[in-house]
Amino acid sequence: MKTFWIRTVSAIVYVILFLGTMFSGVFTGNLQVGVLIFGAFLLFVTVGCSFEFLRMVGRQEAHPSQLLAYLFAVVGFLLLGIPSLMGLNVALFGYMVVFYCLFALSVIVQLWQHSEQPFREAAYTLVPLLYIAVPLALMLTLLQDRGPLVLLMVVAMVWVNDSGAYIGGSLFGRHKMWPRHSPGKTWEGTAFGMLVAILFAVFAGPAVSTIAWPHWLVLALICSIVGTLGDLVESMLKRSVGVKDSGSIMPGHGGFLDRFDSLLIIMPFVYFYLTVTDPDNAFFLILQLFF
């Protein structure tokens, strides 16, 4: 019973912090201030996830440059998050140049590290940037572009899918989905979670936004399929280093990565889909030339 209450209180605090900062612009009556508050929260999560990742790979006797890893994650988050916050239009080419320079720097610094596997260490140095900072920065950009209700729907679809998969697996689960990485997941539970997420999305999505239900159907599929794979990716990481949870910031629920694993993977896909299907976006106009 004590464990139940610890998990419950921990979950309530997490939801209040997450949704409270997400809707802080509504509460304060200033959307720009709200984006700043949510951005500060996501930056904190970025650092926390990076800390957990670097600590886990350290169990494999990997020695990435921790200073550079934190620096790249923070710079990457700000690089992607601040332009949208300030209403700036930064060319994709500029991002590519900066990210390449960060990659080159992560390799160059290995000249002084005396590592037997320098490119492995350089790759681990970049993971917090690509796996953590970029998706969370896109989450901030999505809040700025689409508002808190659309972002809430994306997060809710992930939560509904996870809850549905757990309930469906408990009731109907027979066939293991991926026992090597997550023995508890079943195909029946995954299918049930996807069905519940789709029903939730096509009915609730159009009620809180101008996005039509067919797009919510696609977004629900993205959140269900890619989100489940994102959860498996983090499980694979934890099993490879022999830990049950990525951290202990949330008693009874694990660490930052345990809470954000699915969102980290789905966010680039969600953002890309919403971008290319936006009639006011250049990507949409380019697609019309071919289809």
Structural domain total, the chain? 2
Q: Any idea of the CA torsion for 162, 131, 78, 82, to the nearest 10 degrees?
A: -50
**Considering only CA atoms, which of 117, 185, 151 is closest in space to residue 42?**
151
CB 200 within 8 Å of CB 160? yes
CB 241 within 8 Å of CB 59? yes
**Is residue 29 classed exposed, middle or buried when 0-12, 13-18 and 19+ CB atoms within 10 A define those classes?**
exposed
The residue among 94, 124, 146 that closes a domain is: 146
The residue among 87, 111, 146 that closes a domain is: 146
The residue among 131, 146, 161 that closes a domain is: 146
**Domain that includes residue 172, residue range:** 148-291
Strands in the chain per DSSP E = 176-178, 182-186
Cα separation, 248 vs 52, in Å, equals 10
For residues 155 and 276, membership in a common domain is answered with yes
For residues 185 and 99, membership in a common domain is answered with no
Angle of CA points 102, 100, 231, to nearest 5°: 80
For residues 153 and 127, membership in a common domain is answered with no
Q: What is the pLDDT, as a whole number, of residue 1?
A: 56
Q: What is the pLDDT, as a whole number, of residue 176?
A: 86
Quick: pLDDT tens for 207-242: 999 999 999 999 999 999 999 988 888 888 888 888
Q: What is the pLDDT, as a whole number, of residue 94?
A: 58
Q: What is the pLDDT, as a whole number, of residue 280?
A: 64
- Average pLDDT of adjacent 10-residue blocks, the chain of 291 residues: 70 89 91 90 95 89 87 88 59 61 78 78 88 92 91 95 89 81 84 95 93 95 92 86 80 82 92 83 51 47
For residues 109 and 162, membership in a common domain is answered with no
For residues 130 and 173, membership in a common domain is answered with no
pTM: 0.87
**Considering only CA atoms, which of 242, 220, 239, 233 is closest in space to residue 262?**
233
Quick: pLDDT tens for 165-177: 889 888 887 888 8
For residues 74 and 108, membership in a common domain is answered with yes
For residues 104 and 164, membership in a common domain is answered with no
Which uninterrupted H or E stretch holds 84?
Answer: helix 66-86
Written as one letter, the residue type at 118 is P
CA dist list (Å): 57 to 51, 73, 238: 10, 16, 9
Q: What is the pLDDT, as a whole number, of residue 37?
A: 93
For residues 124 and 202, membership in a common domain is answered with no
Helix (H, G, I), strand (E, B) or coil at 103: helix
For residues 55 and 187, membership in a common domain is answered with no
For residues 142 and 264, membership in a common domain is answered with no
For residues 140 and 158, membership in a common domain is answered with no
Cα separation, 51 vs 225, in Å, equals 27
For residues 254 and 202, membership in a common domain is answered with yes
Written as one letter, the residue type at 49 is C
Q: What is the pLDDT, as a whole number, of residue 289?
A: 47
